[in-house]
Structure 1
Amino acid sequence: MTSTRTWWYQVRHALDTRNPLRALRGRRTLAEAVAGRTVLLTGASSGIGRAAAIELGAAGAVVLLVARREQELNEVAETISALGGIAAAYPCDLNDADATSTMLERVLAEHGHVDILVNNAGRSIRRSLDQSYDRFHDFERTMQLNYFAAVRMMLAVLPGMRERGFGQVINVLSVANLFGGPGYGAYVASKAALDELATCFQAETLDENIRFTSVYMPLVRTAMIAPNEKWRDAAALTAEQGGRVICDAVTDRPRRVGPLSGKAVTLVDAITPARADKGRSRRFRSGV
């Protein structure tokens, strides 16, 4: 993978994931978007979550940081404080339903409400069908973190959002939800479930100033992709660029954010699904 190709990937996806109309209509700044707002962000100890949390904190948001690793979480909070922002760390294993409920009770007791929820924490598993026959637990544990934990977060903060007449839930999904992700069935399915739930909730809250934003995140160079040799040298966004995508979503409050090429594939899938299936099959067979 050449550095030129990596650079083009980063530029193309950074542009594709943004709203092409915003330059025409004008837009508020991130600081204007988060002024007086409390943001709860999961997976905040590293990667995309860490980068987004620091940028949000520096812009003036009160950032509530959630992740398993307490030391790293405290370091993020200290970085935000050094930039003049306000942050609080809430170490929690989101795989543990009881621990998650306790953490959410503490958050609401100490801060009263959450204005913006970013469901960023996630688990990716690459395992083909023929490797999955005796691994049902892979599907269970992926759903536990990627779906059920996110649902628990939403159900805790949405009542307050609806009562105040303002709120945003940002679900960090995958570009594979647009292109397809053969070999990543458990992961893609868990993200798709979250996406569909958000679609249902958005319809129910459309006139309440609540926005559900689905971010179909392109490949980002984080610890999540490190174990997969296929992706180690692949072109990818930096964690900071991924964090910027989230911050742009906070600023613009779009319904969906994703590469235009992925949206084109979705259209092809709707019109000629057999052709789309063949394309996904070719990518799987070629190892891409």
Structure 2
Amino acid sequence: MKSTWIESIAFPKVFLNKKKALQAFRGKTILITGASEGIGNACCILLSKFQVHLILVARSKEKLEALKEVIVKNNSTATILIADLYKEEQVDHLIEHLCTKQTPIDIFISNAGKSIKRPLQNSLLRYHDFTRTNSLNYLAPLKISLALTPILSKQKGQIVNVSALNVLLLPTAQWAAYQASKTAFDQYCRSNQSEWKKMNI
């Protein structure tokens, strides 16, 4: 599909300087949630070209194993951690694993997310839509970032939030659950930015 002139202005092409990227990423350990599909999968494949170690988090072991094969072919390494971030006990287990192993994580890419569009009239008996969306889009990455802050501080690391364009737009009908949850984590990150900076993150 050809992009419109409006899209080309709003989303100009970005060209990656591979030499600078190799200098920036080589040897880094990068944790990425939602690694098995979409943006997460694409990020992993791109980053794997720069000799990194990727910690892949998602629900599908089969998809992560297939991704790991690609990463290894690109001369990087990968660790697979299976977790359903909808479930707090699995988030806790993931955090325990990372912190107990004292994994020297340099970059945390918070990518896992759930998109949902539903009219209010159809949501009146579906409170669980809001709790599930909030759990994955806000509470899970929040909890992970809190746990990893001491590690990232020690490593002079980075937190990357893969957000959504609609956090910058006016509220939109039928997107209440999604927009509220994505905006919540976006605001959490923005609010912490100055404090993280003092911690060398």
**Structures share fold, TM-score greater than 0.5:** yes
User: Hey, what's the Cα distance between the residues in 2 that align with 1:157 and 1:112?
Assistant: 10
1:4 matched to 2:2:
yes
1:137 to 108, 128, 134: 128
Equivalent residue number for residue 142 of structure 2: 151
Distance 1:100 1:9, change over 3 A: farther
Equivalent residue number for residue 90 of structure 2: 99
1:132-211 to 2 correspondence within 5 Å? 132-164=123-155, 166-180=156-170, 181-210=172-201
1:119 matched to 2:110:
yes
Could you tell me which runs of 5 or more consecutive residues in structure 2 were left unpaired when the two chains were aligned.
Answer: none
Instruction: Report Cα offsets for 1:50-97 as digits up to 9, x if no partner.
Output: 110111122122110000001001111111001111111111111111
AA of the residue aligned to 1:205 = W
Match of 2:142, SS state, is: helix
Match of 1:4, SS state, is: coil
Structure 1 length-normalised TM: 0.64
Match of 1:84, SS state, is: coil
Match of 2:163, SS state, is: strand
8 Å contact 1:113–1:157 — kept in the other structure?
no
User: Hey, what's the Cα distance between the residues in 2 that align with 1:37 and 1:144?
Assistant: 28
1:68 matched to 2:66:
no
Equivalent residue number for residue 12 of structure 2: 15
Instruction: Report Cα offsets for 1:119-149 as digits up to 9, x if no partner.
Output: 1010011012222222211111100111111
8 Å contact 1:90–1:103 — kept in the other structure?
yes
Distance 1:69 1:154, change over 3 A: same
How many residue pairs match? The answer is 200
Which structure exhibits the higher relative contact order, with contacts defined as CA atoms closer than 8 Å and separated by 6 or more residues?
Answer: 1
Percentage of identical aligned residues? 33
- Report deviation, 1:27: 10
User: Hey, what's the Cα distance between the residues in 1 that align with 2:43 and 2:81?
Assistant: 16
Match of 1:15, SS state, is: coil
Higher alpha-carbon Rg: 1
Distance 1:79 1:128, change over 3 A: same
Distance 1:62 1:12, change over 3 A: farther
Distance 1:84 1:28, change over 3 A: closer
1:217-256 to 2 correspondence within 5 Å? none
User: Hey, what's the Cα distance between the residues in 2 that align with 1:81 and 1:11?
Assistant: 34
Distance 1:111 1:38, change over 3 A: farther
Instruction: Report Cα offsets for 1:89-129 as digits up to 9, x if no partner.
Output: 11111111111221222234446221111110100110122
Distance 1:197 1:61, change over 3 A: same
User: Hey, what's the Cα distance between the residues in 2 that align with 1:83 and 1:11?
Assistant: 31
Please provide the CA RMSD for this pair.
2.4
8 Å contact 1:73–1:89 — kept in the other structure?
yes
- Report deviation, 1:4: 2.8
- Report deviation, 1:208: 2.9
AA of the residue aligned to 2:183 = A
AA of the residue aligned to 2:35 = A
AA of the residue aligned to 1:172 = V
- Report deviation, 1:183: 1.3
